[in-house]
Amino acid sequence: MTKHNWTREEVLALYNTPLMELMYKAATVHRESHDPNTVQVSTLLSIKTGGCSEDCGYCPQAARYHTDIEGNDLMSVSHVKAQALRAKASGSSRLCMGAAWRNVKDGEDFEQVLDMVRTVNKLDMEVCCTLGMVTENQAKRLAEAGLYAYNHNLDSSEEYYKEVISTRGYQDRLDTIDNVRKTNVTVCSGGIIGMGESVEDRVDLLIQLASLSPQPESTPINALVAVEGTPLEDQKPVEIWDMIRMIATTRIVLPKTQVRLSAGRTQMSKEGQAMCFFVGANSIFAGDKLLTTPNPDVNEDMALFEALGITPQKPFEKGDKPTSVPKDDSELVPLGEKPKWTRPDHKIERNEQAKAKAKLVRSAH
Ligand code: SAM
Ligand code: DTB
Ligand code: SF4
């Protein structure tokens, strides 16, 4: 029976267990539900890049900060198909399409995303989307198109979330996950470490994720990629020991989930990554780019898998392939809802500073 009511004391004690013992514990839990020699591989594709209205302190795609990423409108379906085929040929079982949106809006762009989902589903790949907040109807339409997973991270503890983002609310994230849960689409939700949060914040994030019933089918653990121009540009790289502790603790409190060793791998040694796999990470993002920042080369990853005797997981090994209803047979229509997603808009000093700095840079050009 999966435990959903972990206490702060219990999880903190796990996180702070002497490392050798924690690793042994997590590796043991891992073996009870997973094949330790199989790792799932996902490829990220940014289908709409940059120009985002939100103020997420970690994100290079927020329009208000000055970063050197190149923005793009929504990608064409044919381009997505070509990228999906490339990802499949390189050994990925899942394509995760990300859009720099606050939330999904009914209309042309969403119809195009639904087309992308139908197209990639036909290629026998697991299709994942991360598009911001979604309503129940939008989640149902994604499910009907053949979506396998929806990614929506809680990112941090409810308390620390307020120190990083002022334009979005934690409850909206929980509600979005709830909306996805009303469909057959699996839930992918995790967070980021290295944003200046305390160990207690990391633990509270895990308690929140573990309390979801059912728990998410996949849990990305990202190490912050500190991008110049964002409010978090000066954060120190996450220590490998912190990453191992976080992954091990995630594995213990979310025993069945696929723990994804996500952003931040370019800063990690191969041995460090191997230790993360040992303590229960069983998924990665592959491909030389995450959404906008670098990621290890896929050949390097495959060489690492080979050295460790790891085999990439096949598509739909952990769940059935969803049926994709053709557009013309769809029974669902856009409702044109105007959901009241919250915008707390409290002041976050470092976000204000990064915004002011961006204004200066822009006026100087
Ligand atoms: N716009 C949508 C949203 O915010 O829900 C989807 C895309 S957003 C880029 C997806 C996730 O990427 C974020 O929730 C965050 O966890 C992660 N992320 C973004 N920038 C990151 C960074 N610099 N380092 C690590 N993770 C990051
Ligand atoms: C997740 O947890 N990490 C991915 C994916 N889900 C969407 C995104 C990482 C983004 C890192 C910064 C960038 O490349 O823009
Ligand atoms: Fe926009 Fe998503 Fe980046 Fe926040 S994380 S700024 S919502 S793209």
Give the CATH number, domain containing residue 137: 3.20.20.70
Q: Is 227 left (phi over 0), alpha (psi -120 to 50) or beta?
A: beta
Compute the average pLDDT of residues 186-208: 98
pLDDT of residue 242: 98
Domain-located, residue 189 = yes
Domain that holds residue 77: 8-315
pLDDT of 336 > 90? The answer is no
Domain-located, residue 330 = no
Domain-located, residue 358 = no
Domain-located, residue 321 = no
Domain-located, residue 320 = no
**Which tens digits make up the pLDDT trace of 224-235?**
999 999 999 999
Domain-located, residue 118 = yes
pLDDT of 201 > 90? The answer is yes
Burial 204-217 (b: 16+ CB within 10 A, else e): bbbbbbbebeebbb
> Quick one: pLDDT band at residue 364, thresholds 50, 70, 90?
confident
To the nearest whole number, what is the mean pLDDT of the chain? 97
Substitution site in 173, 192, 290 for ligand 2 pocket (most atoms within 8 Å of beta carbon) = 290
Number of domains in the chain: 1
pLDDT of residue 277: 98
Compute the average pLDDT of residues 186-214: 98
What are the residue numbers of the active site? 52, 56, 59, 96, 128, 188, 260
Sequence-distant (6+) residues with CB within 8 A of 235 are 194, 195, 196, 224, 226
E-only strand ranges, the chain = 38-48, 94-99, 126-130, 149-151, 186-188, 191-193, 218-223, 258-261, 281-286, 311-312
pLDDT of residue 22: 98
pTM for the full predicted model: 0.98
Domain-located, residue 306 = yes
Q: Could you tell me the CA-to-CA distances from 96 to 148, 153, 290 in Å, in that order?
A: 10, 14, 10
**Which tens digits make up the pLDDT trace of 297-311?**
999 999 999 999 999
Domain-located, residue 153 = yes
Residues with CB under 6 A from ligand 2: 44, 60, 96, 98, 130, 151, 153, 190, 220, 222, 225, 262-263, 290-293
